[in-house]
Amino acid sequence: MRLRFIIFSTVLLTFLIDRISKIFVCNITMPEKNFIFDLGIISITRVYNTGAAFGILQGMTSFLLIFSLLVIIFLIIYMLKNHEKLNTLQTLAIAMILGGTAGNFFDRLFYGYVVDFIKLNFIDFPVFNMADLFINIGVILIFTALFSAKQTK
């Protein structure tokens, strides 16, 4: 029961943080199209991304929708089949990836693009969003869990 709560709350929280941040950037703080808010090491700048990470697959929204849906389905099935084998860190990681993928899927499904808005000023890196951040944190946590599992064997 505790594991189900972790999964559900993490997916929901991740999805809601992503949605609320995108709504805030698009509708409340930045009605102008090319507004940039410089915070020093990061800037908030709205970008409409019709592709995937690092600008690849631009304009391939249908493919990315199907791919995202398959990832979501795979992760749900994986968690259902393996929930007893997963520890809390692995569960949290997969739930973050699931919530982030669902956030970007939502954008592509309803708008035809993903709203990106976080720009790192100290490195040449593509603009990204909270969903992307959660997906990457989830991947890092999975590698951390795998590495720590190998250390204990």
What type of residue sits at position 110?
Answer: F
Question: Tell me, what's the pLDDT at 92?
Answer: 93
Q: pLDDT tens per residue, the chain (153 residues)?
A: 677 788 899 999 999 999 999 998 888 665 566 666 777 899 888 888 998 876 788 888 899 999 999 999 999 999 889 888 888 889 999 999 999 999 999 999 999 999 999 999 999 989 999 999 999 999 999 999 888 766 665
* Options 18, 107, 116, 124, the catalytic residue: 116
| Per-residue model confidence (pLDDT) at position 148 | 79
Indicate which residue of 18, 38, 124, 132 is catalytic.
132
Q: What count of other Cβ atoms lies within 10 Å of the Cβ of residue 92?
A: 19
Active-site residue flag, 18: no
Contact call for residues 119 and 44 (beta carbons, < 8 A): yes
Both tokens of 54, joined, read: 């690092």
Structure pTM? 0.88
Alpha-carbon gap, residue 74 to 11, rounded angstroms: 15
Token pair listed for 122 = 């100290």
pLDDT value for 16:
98
